[in-house]
Structure 1
Amino acid sequence: MCVLFEILDSPWSPIINISGGDLKENQSVTVTCSAFTPCPHSPPELTWNLQQDSLRQTEKNTNGTFTTKIQENITLSDTHDGYNIRCSARYPVIGGNKTAETEVTLSVSYAPKDTSASISPSGLVSAGSWVELSCSSRAKPPPSFTWFWNSQHGDMNVSMGKVYKFNPAEEETFHCVATNDLGQQKSPVILVAIKDNRSSEFQILNILKILGIVLLCSSIIIFESWFRFSKKPKKEPEETIYVNTVMEAKA
């Protein structure tokens, strides 16, 4: 019967294995964490950040040694990309326990997600001015982008690449498609709205008319005031009457 033993240096680190080779979304894989077990009657305690109720078992190897392991089956998605799987093995030793941990980062490929299109400048644009459409998507490996014009005769390919620049002549709608080896995704339709320049010109003309009327009225009022002032009779200057008092001296 096996007894508790003493590990002089650091304990054996567990090993994490993932079946399936290159990892892709929607792929079912088996994740295994295993640890060397020198004493099968006192195996190391394995824990990880996957399901804690994973089945634990100790197996005898062909060379007579023993291995303790836990396993979990998972179906991969894009959320598993970059996920860290941590597994620790706690060994019973004389006087307590010693623990070693191993960490593996998943690299999962997935088809385009969250594909969207944006326009610059936003809002209404003038006919003939430059417009820039941008496409974005989350994918691994990085996707390629294709732009489509939604014409009356169906979708027409108008450009390749993340950005599409052009001079719109009328109101039109577009969408982009992100594509990689695992699939593709279409963005929502984006509208290029054209500013109604005739309405702006009409407003400017109305403003000019109003300013003209105000200016004309002001001129008439000023002229009338001046005319009335100029026709007003002027007062004759008062003559200074000198009264000479002659004092006759009586002889």
Structure 2
Amino acid sequence: VFSNGRTELVGNITQKNCSLKIDPLRQSDQGPFYFRIELGGYNHLLCDLLVTGAPQPTVSVKEEVVKGQNVSASCSVSHSCPSSPPEFTWTHSGEKRFQTQQLTDGQWKATSVLTFKATKADHNKPLSCTVRYKGGLVQTSQHHEELIVCFCADAPVNVKVDYKSHVKEGETVQLTCSSEANPPAKSYLWKNEAGARLHQGQSYKLINVSRHTGALYCTAINTVGKRRSSPVQLNVSFKPDPCNIHKNSLYYNNDFTWFLFEQERCRISIFS
């Protein structure tokens, strides 16, 4: 039937294995076939070959995992050529392990097991695999599995304060604290650099801002722990205060007297 070298007897007759390999397999190769063995006479066996399309691989993975936990995902597909098993490619990096299992009716099950450590970036990220057969045919898993990564063991992270950095003295400033946490932060606490408590709540309204307002920070708290933001320092613009005149600090320039006080230069008119 095959005159172009597409067939090969790959079985071991001494072990009663007379398996025939057809490579590459074509749609026109559909059976039936007769197998005959001649050993002082002959017997024959009818074999019906049904050529179908390659099956799509299936992915199996535990959908809900905890951050930092090892995830084990498997991708399986059936095939009919154990000497040339399909190659697997995953959309996620990790340690890969190949397994094979003989089924019935001349079929084998090939499985690729992927192991990796779950991270925050894996949350709701699709996970799929692609199978490439020896003849070049490629099949990708139809259903993408999405991991749900739980951060239940984490204190708040990325705690930051949103605010208007440049303000004028006497103005009111609204500061808002945010964080990433699961479960979400249940409270926010505001303190100054000395550790004195200023306010409790996600938003803090600082009234009548002064040039002397020091740095402050926000602490996000959930049921697991707490974490504080970087110090926040407002840039306050203000008008110079009336100067206290000291005789030793005066110097003269035309019609005005200038003097320095606390690194500020003030001027007053000269009255004769």
Q: Same fold judged by TM-score > 0.5? A: yes
Q: Counterpart of 1:15 in structure 2: which amino acid?
A: T
Aligned to 2:67: 25
- Partners of 1:201 and 1:109 in 2: CA distance: 60
The 3 A distance-change label for structure 1 pair 48 and 143 is same
- Aligned to 2:205, which of 153, 157, 165? 165
1:25–1:108 CA contact under 8 A, matched in 2: yes
> Larger relative contact order (C-alpha < 8 A, sep ≥ 6)?
1
Aligned to 1:97: 136
* Correspondences of 1:37-56 after superposition (within 5 Å): 37-51=79-93, 54-56=96-98
The 3 A distance-change label for structure 1 pair 115 and 49 is same
Q: How far 1:133 moved relative to its partner?
A: 1.1
Q: How far 1:142 moved relative to its partner?
A: 5.3
Q: TM-score, normalised by structure 1?
A: 0.61
* Correspondences of 1:121-160 after superposition (within 5 Å): 122-123=165-166, 125-127=168-170, 129-139=171-181, 143-144=185-186, 146-150=188-192, 152=194, 154=195, 156=197, 158-160=199-201
1:78 aligns with 2:125: no
Task: Name structure 1 gaps, 5 residues minimum.
Answer: 218-251
Q: Matched residues, percent identical?
A: 21
Q: Counterpart of 1:3 in structure 2: which amino acid?
A: K
- Aligned to 1:68, which of 106, 110, 116? 110
1:172–1:193 CA contact under 8 A, matched in 2: no
Task: Name structure 2 gaps, 5 residues minimum.
Answer: 1-18, 28-50, 244-260
1:115 aligns with 2:159: yes
CA-based RMSD of the aligned residues comes to: 4.0
The 3 A distance-change label for structure 1 pair 75 and 158 is same
Residue-pair matches, total: 203
Q: Which has the larger radius of gyration?
A: 1
Bigger share in helix? 1
Q: How far 1:185 moved relative to its partner?
A: 2.8
Q: How far 1:159 moved relative to its partner?
A: 2.5
What SS class does the counterpart of residue 133 from structure 1 fall into?
strand
The 3 A distance-change label for structure 1 pair 65 and 9 is closer
- Partners of 1:39 and 1:136 in 2: CA distance: 57
What SS class does the counterpart of residue 13 from structure 1 fall into?
coil
- Partners of 1:141 and 1:46 in 2: CA distance: 37
Q: How far 1:99 moved relative to its partner?
A: 1.5
The 3 A distance-change label for structure 1 pair 147 and 47 is same
2:189–2:220 CA contact under 8 A, matched in 1: no
Aligned to 1:3: 21
Q: How far 1:131 moved relative to its partner?
A: 0.9
2:71–2:116 CA contact under 8 A, matched in 1: yes
